[in-house]
């Protein structure tokens, strides 16, 4: 069984990005991402800090704007508009979820698609679906990059995606359907209305799980020798941990790992790859190559 180590791969991507950023800086371009956080959701705070720290590691400038939970939608839109027109800002990221009084769709629509390094703007989603150059959402991009770097081909294979969110399930399923050397898969997407989920998951050559339920997929749900990608990040109470919780995935790692040919750990699998792809998108944006044809080469 092989561990698909997202940390190791992310580190090698950072090395490459560091060189690219150094070159850009020598040309007078300082890659710069603006991160917007509204409110004090603890998980969101952790994610924004992690993204900002990763930027520092490779020399990307990051500006974090942390606004109080009661900030109005108009104020959020105003800040985004400032960044849209600021030529020193190459990427804009709004940490989701936003407080409920703010319309997330309206906020995402307000981001200049050429600075939409999260790849959530409908223009980028539409371009991705058609197969045009676009910003690709970071988690799906990270999954594909991880498979590619470990030489796990999905071509002609049955990939089952559990979860159909706009940030993971739907985009990863669509990407894997593309007619491309790194894709060409036969894709099934399952969700909460899927009766007899196991019937699908057990037929998967590659199983991608993005449900958001701790250890939801067990050994009986997977086929012997399958490749398992666990996207889930769930906090479960743990008295032995200093912060009172530990992070587990959507897959029961200990029982599933011995049965499969390859699996991502949580933490240390898809999470670090997601951040690496955010940095990749930001450097592409700074390069003036926001919409690059082949993200996966």
Smallest distance, ligand NDP to C-beta of residue 74, A: 27
Quote the Cα angle for 82-97-270, to 5°.
Answer: 105
Which one of 26-34, 99-107, 207-215, 284-292 is the stretch in contact with ligand NDP (CB under 6 A)? 207-215
Q: Binding string, 211-250, against ligand NDP, x = CB under 6 A?
A: xx------------------xxxx----------------
162 pairs with which residues across the strands? 190, 209
164 near ligand NDP, judged by CB under 6 A: yes
- Give the residue from 96, 20, 27 showing the smallest Cα distance to 58: 20
Between 112 and 250, CB nearer to ligand NDP? 250
6 near ligand NDP, judged by CB under 6 A: no
Q: What is the DSSP letter of 19?
A: H
Q: How far apart are CA 117 and CA 134, in angstroms?
A: 10
Site for ligand NDP in 106-135 (CB under 6 A): none
Residue of minimal Cβ distance to ligand NDP:
165
Retrieve residue 50's tokens: 């992690």
Retrieve residue 15's tokens: 């090395």
Measured between alpha carbons, how far is residue 64 from residues 36, 67, 91, 287 in Å? Answer: 6, 10, 12, 21
Q: Is 188 exposed, middle or buried (0-12, 13-18, 19+ CB in 10 A)?
A: middle
Q: How far apart are CA 135 and CA 279, in angstroms?
A: 12
* Pairing of β 227-230 and β 158-162: unpaired
Q: Binding string, 272-291, against ligand NDP, x = CB under 6 A?
A: --x-----------------
255 near ligand NDP, judged by CB under 6 A: no
192 near ligand NDP, judged by CB under 6 A: yes
Which one of 22-30, 32-40, 153-161, 267-275 is the stretch in contact with ligand NDP (CB under 6 A)? 267-275
Positions marked catalytic: 51, 95, 118
Binding site for ligand NDP (CB under 6 A): 139, 162-165, 167-169, 190-194, 197, 210-212, 231-234, 270-271, 274
């Amino acid at each position: 069984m092989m561990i698909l180590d997202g940390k190791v791969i992310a580190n090698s991507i950072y090395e490459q990005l560091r060189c690219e950023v150094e070159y850009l800086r020598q040309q007078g371009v300082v890659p710069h991402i603006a991160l917007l956080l509204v409110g004090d959701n603890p998980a969101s705070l952790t994610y924004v800090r992690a993204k900002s720290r990763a930027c520092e590691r490779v020399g990307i400038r990051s500006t974090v704007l942390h606004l109080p939970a009661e900030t109005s939608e108009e104020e959020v839109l105003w800040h985004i508009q400032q960044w849209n027109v600021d030529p020193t800002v190459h990427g804009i990221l709004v940490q989701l979820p936003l407080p409920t009084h703010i319309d997330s769709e309206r906020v995402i629509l307000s981001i200049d698609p050429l600075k939409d390094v999260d790849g959530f703007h409908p223009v980028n989603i539409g371009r991705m679906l058609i197969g045009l150059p676009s910003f690709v959402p970071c988690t799906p991009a990270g999954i594909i990059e991880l498979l590619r770097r470990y030489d796990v081909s999905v071509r002609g294979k049955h990939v089952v995606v559990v979860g159909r969110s706009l940030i993971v399930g739907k985009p990863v399923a669509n990407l894997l359907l593309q007619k491309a050397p790194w894709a060409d898969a036969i894709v099934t997407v399952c969700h909460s209305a899927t009766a007899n989920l196991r019937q699908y998951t057990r037929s998967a050559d590659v199983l991608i799980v993005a449900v958001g339920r701790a250890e939801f997929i067990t050994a009986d749900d997977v086929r012997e020798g399958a490749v398992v990608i666990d996207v889930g990040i769930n906090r479960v109470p743990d008295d032995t941990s200093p912060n009172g919780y530990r992070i587990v995935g959507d897959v029961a790692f200990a029982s599933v790992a011995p049965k499969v040919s390859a699996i991502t750990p949580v933490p240390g699998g898809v999470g670090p790859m997601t951040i690496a792809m955010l940095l990749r998108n930001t450097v592409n944006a700074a390069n003036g190559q926001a919409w690059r044809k082949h993200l996966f080469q």
